[in-house]
Amino acid sequence: TRIPCIFITHQLQIAVPQSHIAEKMLSYFNHRYIRRFSKVWVPDYPDHAMAGKLSVQHHLLKNVEFIGNLSRFESESHTGMLYDKMILLSGPEPQRSKLEALIMGQLEQTSERILIVRGKPGSAALQHPNSCIRIENHLSKTALQQAMQQSDVLICRSGYSTIMDLIKLKKTALLVPTPGQTEQEYLARFLSEKKWFTTMKQSDLELNKATLMMKNTEAGTIPDFDLYLYKKAIDDLLQSHG
C-alpha cells in the first residue's frame, strides 16, 4: 500500500531579486523535488491572492492543491483598544535584535501605550523605565490574538505565517521585512501594492513617520476568504486513501 506524502509550501517559485535566470533555475529544482510527493498543498488561493508570484502554479506541476489561509487564530471579535502600537518581533538574529534596538531607541520619550512582544520565550523578563511600555518575551496564542485585535497600529515582520494571521483577523499592519530575506521583501512589496498593508525598510524605520504614513494611506479591504478550504483537501485525501 502506498502511503500518501503531502508537501506543504506557499513557495512554488523562489523569489530571486534582479536575476530572472537564477529564479528559473531555483524553480526548476524546487519543482523537481516537490513533484515526488502525492500532493503539494499550497496555503493560498488559486488567484494567488496572498503570496503573489510565489504560489503561481507552473504548468509542469500536476499535484498542486490550494488549501487557503492556514492561521492558528480563531475568527473572534474583541472590542476596545488597549494599545496605540503593538510591535511584534520575530525572525533570525542578528536582525531581530537590531530591529528591537532601533525601536527601543525611538520609544524612550513616548506617551503612547505600547506593547512589545520580543519573540524570545524563556528569556529573562524585561521592564522598560517608561511605564507606558509593556514588554513581553512571549504570549500564548489566545493572548497574542487578543492583543493584536486590541492594538491600533501593528508593526511586524512580513513572514508568511504572520501575514496569514493578519489576514484572518482582517488586521492591517506596517510590515518591516527582514533585510536580505527575499521572500519577506517581495511579500511586503506585493501586499502593500494591494493596499492591504503598508511597508517600510528596516533601515528607514521611523515610528512616528510610519504611523502617519499608515493613517494617510487609503487602506484596501481584505476580502472575505474561505478560511476552511483546507478541510476539503483533508476530506478528499481521506476518501481517496480510506
| pLDDT one-digit tens code per residue, 96-125 | 999 999 999 898 888 999 999 999 998 888
Per-residue pLDDT band at 87 (split at 50, 70, 90): very high
The DSSP symbol for 198 reads: E
Percent composition of the chain: helix, strand, coil (DSSP 3-state, to 5): 35, 15, 50
* DSSP helix/strand/coil, 152: strand
Asked whether 69 and 231 are in contact (CB, 8 A), the reply is no
Residue 1 has pLDDT above 60, yes or no: no
The Cα–Cα gap between 21 and 10 comes to 21
Q: How many helices (H) and strands (E) does the chain have?
A: 7, 9
Read off the pTM.
0.89
DSSP state of 111: -
State how far the Cα of 198 lies from the Cα of 219, in Å rounded to an integer. 9
* Strand ordering across the sheet containing 39-42: 6-8, 39-42, 64-66
Place of cell 492561521: 71
pLDDT at position 43 is 96
94 upstream amide cis, omega within 30 of 0: yes
